[in-house]
């Protein structure tokens, strides 16, 4: 008998018919003898409906009251799902974030979970109840209702799984798992049966928006096995967990991630003195612009060229700041390019496998793609290319690393 936490998002509980389907899914899990805690979001459209009411009154609604308002959305779903479970003969009890109690800080609309008091839930589980918890919400130390911000229901599910020491946290979505890359770009994209937390973070942060990054970080920190599944289709989904050292061989590359939302800025001829990087990037950070890839070329006649990428929406602002800096530090001209994209190969296996970088560069070279920038980390290598080459690059890499084929050892692990 296992303890499973299952999370269903807004579209999965979008109407009564779907809530009844979810109840069936939960009942099936319960029938197999597992203890189940379900975390639900507001019915799709409900949060927007409530938000619109608030905006009729205030342009910027009071954060404390916005939390009181929005938290009702999830509460409604918990009651309806509990009724649907009851109707199918399954004992169920709903809980708000306050009732559980999911203690958060007092940062209304974007609170962070501090602690979960699981005593009452454990008691109910012992009595055979399925617990249905309102996602996305908690309560601060003074009893005020808080919310975790959009997508916070994933975090609620992972935090509950950690507090209850659940065997698995299942996130039900509208995709049947995590793929080697975007199936809309590569026909042969394949569902991964396993991926590590680190890989998932790298994949997620670059556009595979299956899971909230925050929830993955949380799961990794507390070592909660996460599984991504389709709400209404059967299938094993993708298990996200710690690196499995017992496996004979780890596949080198898990997937190919990419991101179109990149723009590149270059400041030429900056003086090659200690602290120049900070002089350039400090004001960019102060302007709340996030910088992604940074490259500094080698010194030439005591000056350096300095290139970095930002989100496209920040390009104009970044350029303004950079022109001012160029003036101040007596550098050369500032140039920019928004027609670029980033392509990354991700995989914990590359830690122990030499040659991933050279295989990557070779594959891109073979199809005639010029690499504009390169950056590497422990488990990923990213390149910046012209945007028009993005799909070609992803396909070339997917094929070069053989991702369309199921890795042999991964199959073995799944059948265990």
Q: Which residues bind a second copy (CB under 8 A)?
A: 16, 19-20, 50, 53-54, 56-58, 61-62, 64-66, 68-69, 71-72, 75-76, 78-80, 82-84, 86-87, 93-94, 96, 98-99, 120, 143-145
Name which of 72 and 323 has its Cβ closer to a second copy.
Answer: 72
**Shortest gap between Cβ of 41 and a second copy (angstroms)?**
15
| Residue recorded with tokens 């496998």 | 353
Question: How far is the C-alpha of 378 from the C-alpha of 188, rounded, in Å?
Answer: 26
DSSP one-letter string for 105-160: -S-TTS--EEEE--HHHHHHHHTTPEEEEETTEEE-TTS-EEE--TTHHHHHHHHH
Q: 3-state class of 270 per DSSP?
A: strand
**Shortest gap between Cβ of 99 and a second copy (angstroms)?**
6
Question: How far is the C-alpha of 400 from the C-alpha of 228, rounded, in Å?
Answer: 27
* Residues β-bridged to residue 307: 266, 295
Name which of 39 and 178 has its Cβ closer to a second copy.
Answer: 39
Q: Specify the long-range contacts of residues 28-35, CB closer than 8 Å, at least 24 apart.
A: 29/4, 30/90, 30/130, 33/1, 34/1, 34/2, 34/3, 34/4, 35/1, 35/2, 35/3, 35/4, 35/125
**Shortest gap between Cβ of 23 and a second copy (angstroms)?**
9
Name which of 20 and 272 has its Cβ closer to a second copy.
Answer: 20
**Which pairing describes strands 130-134 and 92-95: parallel, antiparallel, or unpaired?**
parallel
**Shortest gap between Cβ of 161 and a second copy (angstroms)?**
22
Name which of 68 and 295 has its Cβ closer to a second copy.
Answer: 68
Alpha carbon 44 to its chain's center: 20
**Dihedral sign from CA coordinates of 217, 218, 224, 229:** negative
**Shortest gap between Cβ of 234 and a second copy (angstroms)?**
24
| Residue recorded with tokens 């309560």 | 139
Question: How far is the C-alpha of 345 from the C-alpha of 253, rounded, in Å?
Answer: 7
Cα distance from N-terminal residue to C-terminal residue, the chain:
17
**Shortest gap between Cβ of 19 and a second copy (angstroms)?**
7
**Shortest gap between Cβ of 193 and a second copy (angstroms)?**
35
Name which of 83 and 281 has its Cβ closer to a second copy.
Answer: 83
Name which of 17 and 368 has its Cβ closer to a second copy.
Answer: 17
**Shortest gap between Cβ of 363 and a second copy (angstroms)?**
54
Name which of 142 and 358 has its Cβ closer to a second copy.
Answer: 142
Name which of 69 and 257 has its Cβ closer to a second copy.
Answer: 69
Name which of 89 and 274 has its Cβ closer to a second copy.
Answer: 89
Q: Are 164 and 5 in contact (CB under 8 A)?
A: yes
Question: How far is the C-alpha of 255 from the C-alpha of 237, rounded, in Å?
Answer: 16
Name which of 71 and 250 has its Cβ closer to a second copy.
Answer: 71
**Shortest gap between Cβ of 46 and a second copy (angstroms)?**
10
DSSP one-letter string for 308-326: EEE-GGGHHHHHHHHHHHH
DSSP 174: S
**Shortest gap between Cβ of 329 and a second copy (angstroms)?**
47
* Residues β-bridged to residue 239: 194, 227
């Amino acid at each position: 008998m296992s303890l499973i936490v299952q999370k269903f998002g807004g579209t999965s509980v979008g109407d009564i018919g779907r809530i009844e389907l979810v109840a069936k899914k939960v009942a099936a899990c319960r029938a197999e003898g597992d203890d189940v805690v379900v975390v639900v979001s507001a019915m799709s459209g409900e949060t927007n409906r409530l938000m619109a009411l608030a905006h009729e009154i205030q342009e910027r609604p009071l954060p404390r009251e916005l939390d009181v308002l929005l938290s009702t959305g999830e509460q409604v779903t918990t009651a309806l799902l509990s009724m649907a479970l009851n109707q199918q003969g399954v004992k169920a009890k709903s809980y708000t974030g306050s009732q559980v109690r999911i203690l958060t800080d007092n940062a209304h609309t974007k609170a962070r979970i501090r602690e979960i008091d699981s005593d009452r839930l454990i008691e109910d589980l012992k009595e055979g109840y399925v617990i249905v918890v309102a996602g996305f919400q908690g309560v601060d130390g003074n009893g005020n209702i808080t919310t975790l911000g959009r997508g916070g229901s994933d975090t609620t599910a992972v935090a509950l799984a950690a507090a209850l020491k659940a065997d698995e946290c299942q996130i039900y979505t509208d995709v049947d798992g995590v793929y080697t890359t975007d199936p809309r770009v590569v026909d042969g994209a394949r569902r991964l049966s396993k991926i590590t937390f680190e890989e998932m973070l790298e994949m997620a942060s670059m556009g595979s928006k299956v899971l909230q990054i925050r929830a993955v970080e949380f799961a990794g920190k507390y070592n909660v096995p996460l599984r991504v599944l389709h709400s209404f289709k059967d299938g094993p989904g993708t298990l996200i967990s710690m690196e499995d050292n017992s496996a004979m061989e780890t596949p080198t590359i898990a997937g190919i991630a990419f991101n179109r939302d990149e723009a590149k800025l270059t400041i030429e001829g900056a003086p090659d003195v200690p602290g120049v990087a900070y002089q350039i990037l400090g004001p960019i950070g102060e302007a709340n612009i996030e910088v992604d890839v940074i490259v500094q070329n080698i010194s030439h006649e005591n000056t350096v060229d300095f290139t970095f990428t930002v989100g496209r929406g920040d390009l104009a602002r970044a350029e303004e700041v950079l022109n001012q800096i160029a003036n101040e530090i007596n550098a050369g001209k500032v140039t920019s390019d928004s027609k670029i994209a980033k392509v990354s190969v991700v995989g914990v296996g590359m830690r122990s496998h030499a040659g991933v970088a050279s295989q990557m560069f070779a594959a891109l070279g073979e199809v005639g793609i010029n690499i504009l920038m390169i950056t590497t980390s422990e488990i990923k290598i990213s390149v910046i290319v012209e945007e028009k080459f993005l799909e070609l690059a992803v396909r070339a890499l997917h094929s070069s690393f053989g991702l369309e084929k199921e890795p042999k050892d991964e199959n073995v692990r799944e059948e265990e």
